[in-house]
Structure 1
Amino acid sequence: MPISLQKGQKVDLTKGNPGLKNIMVGLGWDVNKYDGGADFDLDAAAFLLGENGQTPTTDEFVFYGNLKHKSGAVEHMGDNLTGEGDGDDEQIVVNLQKIPANVVRIAFTVTIYEAEERRQNFGQVSNAYIRIVDSDTNQELIRYDLGEDFSIETAVVVGEIYRHNGEWKFNAIGSGFQGGLAALCANYGIETC
């Protein structure tokens, strides 16, 4: 049974799961009924961060426009343009052993594509979650349901994995941003997205 987390909780990922090498980060959401005329397109991404909380280069930003990190450690499994259906809407796979030594944390985010133009925000999104699955056993290890804490935000840092004393841990963040993907990129040291 997976560990269910609340916002701000941190939990060991590898210490309690010795031998864990490959994880799948599943992100899912539903769109509330609304009459805006445009489809919702939510996009998951991963920012590979150094000690300073910034991406060393733009290559450490894995998203629909850069599906695989050059190390092979992080791979986005493709853009879901509608988010319809049950289960994960987008998935990112991570090989913990291939993560470069200069990367100490990986932030997993979700943004709304063209949110400003389409007048959309996370107040119109429900049932958002992140889950961590052991890819080798297909066992769900961790789940964090974001709840309905958002209104005008157009980007959310959902959670992150990070190194701590040689082990990997997970942090349930659930922090919203206005300004969409550009705001996240600026936060993590990427000048243009």
Structure 2
Amino acid sequence: MSNRIDLVAGQNCPLPTTSLHVLVNHGQGASGMTVDVSAFLLNSQGKVSTDEDFIFFNQPARTEQGVLLEPDQGRFTLHLDRTGGDIQKIALAMTITDGQAKGQSFSQLKNVSVLIKDFLSGIEIACFYLETQQNKESALIVGEFYRHQDKWKFRAVGQGFIGGLQPLAEFYGVDVGEGESAAPAPLGKLNLSKITLDKKGQSISLEKTTDPGEIVVNLNWNATPVKSVGSRHHAPEGIDLDLACLWEFEQGEIGGVQALGGHFGNLHQFPFIELDQDDRSGRSVGGETLRINGKYLHEFRRILIFTFIYEGVPNWSHVDAVVTIKSKDQPDIEIRLDSYRDDQFLCALAMLENINGKLQITKLIDYFAGHQQMDRAFGWGLNYAPGSK
């Protein structure tokens, strides 16, 4: 029997656990309508303390604060026991991209809801169905998680806000760029733009820059945690993907970076690529990340980004993996794992190439039985031996 609490605007409820999945859902909108979800980690003054406390499609994780957003799913993972004491409230919002310019508002959107579930068991805790027929705004504060007597509670809000994502972010104290279009943001400001490579083989070249900084490649996915009840033997806690790459320099040196075999690389020494040592098994909200030292980008010929299932049966159709590539003063590049081969353990995700000094990024999504098969397909020339972590 479900004990789910159905809320109305203004009502609040206690939370029986600090580890949650929160789904912000909506039905089909008008043609050409794009709806994004975001979160703001607020201090006692109701403002963000740093721009990193703004969680949105270009900045989807605040790992140390226990907050992760899966933008295309409209889903947050919250581990509120990790959230620092200076954060008193987490506000959740929905915005319509360029809504005012297109004459779009939430009055055109039906079946808007917020569903809160237990992270481990999936049991529904609370649900809030929003009445949006009268909302003429293109931004909506849907709800708030807040501290109350050393506990966390959720409040259903449903308050419209005039303007889109930028004015809403500025209202909460975030320093953002000038608008929501896909153009680089001014130095020192957050970029509210992203570019999604939708089709296999689609490429984009980033603009040259004198100071590229780090190029950050993040892989995140739905680990689908399972809680075993009534048994000493627990089922695996989630799908364990490993992020990795093969690299090739202009002078012909080749190699790879991956957790398997302990080849984590080095950001500041050869090969100038480093894998964070986050062996994710479903507990980490940040996924796994490769960092490339942009200072040496001109010395690379190509970098092949791939992932593989370390243990278990290949089940790509359930991982909902997404790769996000970030670099200084450039729009984020997003690549989704949107085609599946559940009989292969390894997937080549993207190719990064140095083309006349510009970084060209190409979507691949090619599946292979293992490393050696992928190596042959791309003509790398490495030899492989069994390894472990």
Aligned pairs (5 A) from 1:43-122: 43-77=36-70, 79-80=71-72, 89-122=73-106
CA deviations 1:20-45 (Å, max 9, x no partner) are 2310110001135x5xxx52111111
SS of the aligned residue for 1:182 comes to helix
- The aligned amino acid for 1:174 is G
Please say if residues 150 and 176 of structure 1, whose CA atoms lie closer than 8 Å, have aligned partners that are also in contact: no
Unaligned runs of 5+ in 2: 177-191, 193-389
Among all aligned residue pairs of Structure 1 and Structure 2, give the percentage whose two residues are the same amino acid: 29
Aligned match for 2:27, one of 22, 26, 30: 30
Q: Matches of 1:187 and 1:150 in 2, distance apart?
A: 22
Report what 2:128 is aligned to: 144
SS of the aligned residue for 2:6 comes to strand
SS of the aligned residue for 2:137 comes to coil
- The aligned amino acid for 2:83 is I
Q: Matches of 2:144 and 2:49 in 1, distance apart?
A: 17
Unaligned runs of 5+ in 1: 81-88
Please say if residues 31 and 124 of structure 1, whose CA atoms lie closer than 8 Å, have aligned partners that are also in contact: no
- The aligned amino acid for 2:172 is Y
Deviation, 1:70, is 4.3
CA deviations 1:43-95 (Å, max 9, x no partner) are 11110000000000110001101010141510011x32xxxxxxxx4101111
Deviation, 1:116, is 2.4
What is the count of residue pairs matched by the alignment? Answer: 175
CA deviations 1:85-131 (Å, max 9, x no partner) are xxxx4101111111111101100100001212322111110110011
Aligned match for 1:9, one of 8, 11, 19: 11
Q: Aligned-pair RMSD on alpha carbons?
A: 1.5
SS of the aligned residue for 1:185 comes to helix
Please say if residues 65 and 84 of structure 2, whose CA atoms lie closer than 8 Å, have aligned partners that are also in contact: no
Please say if residues 111 and 154 of structure 1, whose CA atoms lie closer than 8 Å, have aligned partners that are also in contact: yes
Question: TM-score scaled to structure 2, two decimals?
Answer: 0.43
SS of the aligned residue for 1:71 comes to helix
Report what 2:380 is aligned to: none
Deviation, 1:149, is 4.2
SS of the aligned residue for 1:120 comes to coil
Please say if residues 18 and 152 of structure 2, whose CA atoms lie closer than 8 Å, have aligned partners that are also in contact: no
Alpha-carbon distance change, 174 to 76 in structure 1, aligned in 2, over 3 angstroms? same
Report what 1:86 is aligned to: none
Q: Matches of 2:170 and 2:133 in 1, distance apart?
A: 23
- The aligned amino acid for 1:9 is Q
